[in-house]
Structure 1
Amino acid sequence: MIEKTKGVDRAANIVLATGMIFILFPLVITLVTATQSYEDFVRNGFSFMPGTHFLDNISIVIETTHLPRQILNSIIMATMMATIKCVIAFLTAYAIVYFRIRYGGIIFAMVLVTNLMPLELRFITTYQVASNVMLPVNAFLEFTGIARIIELISGHHPHYKLSILNTYFGLAAPLLANGTGTFLFRQYFRSLPADLSKAAKMDGAGPIRFLWDILMPLSKSNFAALFLIMFLGGWTQYLWPLVAASTPEMQTAVVGLARLSPGIPGEVPQYPAIMAGAVMVSVIPLLMIAFMQRHIVRGLTLTEK
C-alpha cells in the first residue's frame, strides 16, 4: 500500500524554503552592499540592486586596513588549534579504548568536564597564566624554599617571567582544552569490531603500528570532520584574540572586521567596505565547508554508530 504524501512533501518543502530564505537573506544583503559605492550608500541607503564597486571596496579594505594580515593570522591560529586538538583527541581516545587503564572511566569523565568550563568562565586566570607562563615555576620555588636559598646566594629574589601574549601560540593554546574531539573518537573506536586489535596483535602489529597503519586510515573522515569543526570554532573566536593580541598585526580576522566601524560618533560607517571585508573573512570557511562536506557527513555518521 502506497500512502499519499504529497501534502507532507509540500509542507516539508515550504519549511525548507523558509529556512533557506532565513539563512541566505543576510548573505544576500552582505553581497549586494559590498558591490555598492560609499556615495550611493549614503545617498540611497540599503538597496537590493547590485552595484559595480565590489573590487573597489576590496581594494579599499586591502590598502587601508590590516585585514589581509589578520586573515592570515586567523588561518595560522585556527589551523594550529584544530590540528593540535585532533591529535590530542585521537591519542586520548586511543588510550581510553584500547588500553586497560585503571579509572579510565573517571579520566574520560574529567576530559568531558572541560566542556563545562569554557574560556569565558576562566578568562581572568587564563590571562594571568598567559601573561606569565612561569607562574607555576615561581610558585614551586616559593613553596619548596628554593627561592629563599637562591636569594641568600645571589642576593636577588628569583621571579621569572615569560609572556605568550601577542603570539600565535598564545592565541591558540588557551583554546585547546576541549573534550568534544575525544568523545567523538571514542564513540567511533567503540563502533569498530572488538577483535580488530586482537587480529592486529596476532599479525605482529604493536600498539604504534596498529595506531598508524589501521586506526589512522580508518579515521580519515572523522579527522576531516573534527578538523573542520575545530577550525571553524577557532576562526570565529573573538573575545580571547581581542585581549591576547595587543597589536593590529597580530589580531585575527574577526577582531579586525569588528574594528572596521568608525569610532567617531555621528560618522556614517563605510558599510560597503565593511561588507566587502566580511566577504573576505567568510570565503575560507565557506570553501572548506564546500570541499569537505562529504567527509564531514561521513565522519559524523560513522561516529554516531
Structure 2
Amino acid sequence: MVENARSLNIAATIILALGMLYIVGPLVLMLITATQSYEYVLSHGLAYLPGDQFLENFRSVLTETAIPRQLWNSTVVALSVATGKCILSFAAAFVLVFFEVRHRSLLFALILLTIMLPVEVRVITTYGVASNILSPVNTLLDITGLNGLITKVWGAPIHFQLSVLNTYFGLAAPLIAQGTGVFLFRQFFRTLPADLVKAAKMDGAGPLRFMIDILLPLSLTPFASLFVLEFLSGWTQYLWPLVASSKADMQTAVVGLAHLVPDDDSFIPNFPMIMAGAALVAAIPLTVIALLQRYMVRGLILSEK
C-alpha cells in the first residue's frame, strides 16, 4: 500500500508539473518575446532566451498606443462590475433567504437563468437597449396612443433619445446583470445558523440593521471571493466593450491590445511591442489574484457547505 501511494504521488506530481508548464509556458514566452527587438523577431523568429529591449518596447506601448488610457478604462469597468455585482447579489440573496417571498424558488430559478444568457448571447438586444435606454418610454407612448394625441396638438410625435454607448455606465451595466453572485451568497447564507435571525430579533434589530451590522461582517470572505472573480470577468471582457465603444479613448485594454495587430496581412505585427502590452495588461489582474487569492478560495469553500 505504501509503494502504491508513493507511485500515485509521483504520478500526481508529474501531472501537476505538466499542467503548470502548460499554463506558465505561454506566459514565459510572452515575456521573452517582449524583451526582443522587432528586427530580431523578423530575422530569427521566436526566441527562447531573454533580450535587452523590454524597456524600449514598454516605452513604445506607453507613448505610441492608447493602452495607458485603456488600462484606466478597464480598471473603472472592472471595479464597477465587481462592486455592482457584489452589492446587488448580496441584497438579492438576502431577500431570497431571509424573507418569506412568494414564489421565491421561481424567482431564484429566473435569476439563475441569466447565467445561461451571458452578454455574448444577448449582445444584439443589449446594444439596442444601450443605444437608447429611453426606448421603453417611446414604446409606451405609442401603445397608449399618447403620441397620436401629441401629434395632433404639436404636429409631430415625441421621441426620447439617450444613448449610453461610449460611457462607463454603458460598458459596465450590462455585465452586472448576471446571477452568479446571487447563487454564491445564497449558498453562504444557508450555512448560517437559523437561530441567528431569532437572536437579532430578540435584540430589537430590524431587517436593515441585521443586514448591515450582523450579516455583512460575516460575509466579508464571500464578498472578497466574488469581487475577485467578477473583477477578472470584467477585465477580460472583449465582445461587449468592442461593440459598446467606438472611440479608442473609451475602449478597454483587452480591445486595445487586439487593435495593436494591423489589419493589413502584408505587414508583420510588432510582436515584441504587442507582448510588452500584453504583459502590462495582465499585470493588474495577476496582482489582484495574488493579493486576494486566500480570500477567494475561502469564500468558494464556504459557499459550498
Look up the match of 2:58: 58
In structure 1, C-alpha distance between the alignment counterparts of 2:297 and 2:265, rounded to whole Å:
47
Q: C-alpha separation between the residues in 2 aligned to 1:263 and 1:181?
A: 39
Displacement, 1:4?
Answer: 5.5
1:207-240 residue CA offsets vs partner (Å, 9 max, x unmatched): 1111011111111110011011111111111111
Partner of 2:190: 190
Question: 1:73 maps to which residue?
Answer: 73
After TM superposition, give the deviation of residue 174 of structure 1 in Å. 1.3
Counterpart residue identity of residue 137, structure 2: V
3-state SS of the aligned residue for 1:5?
helix
Could you report, residue by residue, the CA deviation over 1:60-86 in whole angstroms, capped at 9, with x for unpaired residues?
A: 011110001001100001110111111
Question: Counterpart amino acid of 2:303?
Answer: T
1:293 maps to amino acid: Q
Report the secondary structure of 1:121's partner residue. Answer: coil
1:203 matched residue in structure 2: 203
CA distance in 1, matches of 2:209, 2:3: 53
Residue type at the aligned position of 1:233 = S
What runs of 5+ residues in structure 1 fail to find an aligned partner? none
User: Aligned-pair distance for 1:57?
Assistant: 0.3
Letter in 1 for 2:175: L
Query: Equivalent residue for 2:84?
Result: 84
Distance between the aligned counterparts of 1:241 and 1:183, measured in 2?
26
Equivalent in the alignment of 2:285? 285
Report the equivalent of 1:222. 222
Q: Distance in 2 between matches of 1:293 and 1:265?
A: 41
Separation (CA, whole Å) in 1 of partners of 2:304 and 2:50: 44
Shift of 1:6: 1.1
**Over residues 15-56 of structure 1, what are the superposed CA-to-partner deviations in whole Å (9 max), with x where a residue is unaligned?**
100100111110010000001111111121111110111110
Following the alignment from structure 1 to structure 2, what is the Cα–Cα distance between the partners of residues 302 and 66?
41
Report the AA paired with residue 254 of structure 2: V
1:293 and 1:117 map into 2 onto residues whose CA distance is: 28
Q: Tell me the matched-pair count.
A: 305
Q: For residues 160-202 of structure 1, what are the alpha-carbon distances to aligned partners after superposition, in whole Å with 9 as ceiling and x for unaligned? A: 1110000000111111221110001000000010110110110
Report the Cα distance in structure 2 between the residues aligned to 1:163 and 1:264, rounded to whole angstroms. 33
Question: 2:34 aligns to what?
Answer: 34
Aligned to 2:48: 48
TM-score of the superposition, structure 2-length normalised?
0.98
What is the deviation of 1:264?
2.1
Q: Which moved more, 1:120-129 or 1:282-291?
A: 120-129
Distance 1:272 1:172 in 2: 31
Q: Deviations over 1:106-135 (max 9, x none)?
A: 111111111121222222111111111111
Q: Give the counterpart letter for 1:27 in structure 2.
A: L
Task: Tell me the distance in 2 between the aligned counterparts of 1:2 and 1:241.
Answer: 55
**1:132 and 2:116 equivalent?**
no
- Listed one character per residue, the Cα deviations across residues 269-296 of structure 1 (whole Å, up to 9, x for unaligned) are 1000000000000000000000001101
Partner letter of residue 61 of structure 1? V
| In structure 2, C-alpha distance between the alignment counterparts of 1:267 and 1:154, rounded to whole Å | 58
Give TM-score, length-normalised by structure 1. Answer: 0.98
CA shift, 1:148, in A, is: 1.5
One-letter code aligned to 2:6: K
Taking the aligned partners of 1:141 and 1:264, their CA distance within structure 2 comes to: 48
Instruction: Report the Cα offset of residue 147 of structure 1.
Output: 1.2
Amino acid at match of 2:97: V
Alignment pair present for 1:155 and 2:155: yes
Q: Write out aligned runs for 1:93-132 (5 A).
A: 93-132=93-132
User: What CA distance in whole angstroms lies between the structure 2 residues aligned with 1:4 and 1:85?
Assistant: 47
- AA matched with 1:77: V
Matches within 5 A, 1:263-302: 263-302=263-302
Aligned-partner residue type, residue 294 of structure 1: R
User: Where does residue 5 of structure 1 map in the other structure?
Assistant: 5
TM-aligned CA deviation for residue 2 of structure 1: 6.6
Alignment-mate amino acid for residue 115 of structure 1: I
Amino acid aligned to 2:145:
G
CA distance in 2, matches of 1:128, 1:179: 22
Query: Residue in 2 aligned with 1:237?
Result: 237
Q: Aligned letter for 1:243?
A: V
Question: Within 2, Cα distance between the matches of 1:17 and 1:232?
Answer: 25
After the TM superposition, list the runs of 4 or more consecutive aligned residues in structure 1 that deviate by more than 3 angstroms.
1-4
Q: Percent identity?
A: 54
Letter in 2 for 1:74: S
Q: Quick one: distance in 1 between partners of 2:120 and 2:27?
A: 29
Amino acid at match of 1:296: M
Amino acid in the other structure paired with 1:113: L
Which range moved further: 282-291 or 260-269? 260-269
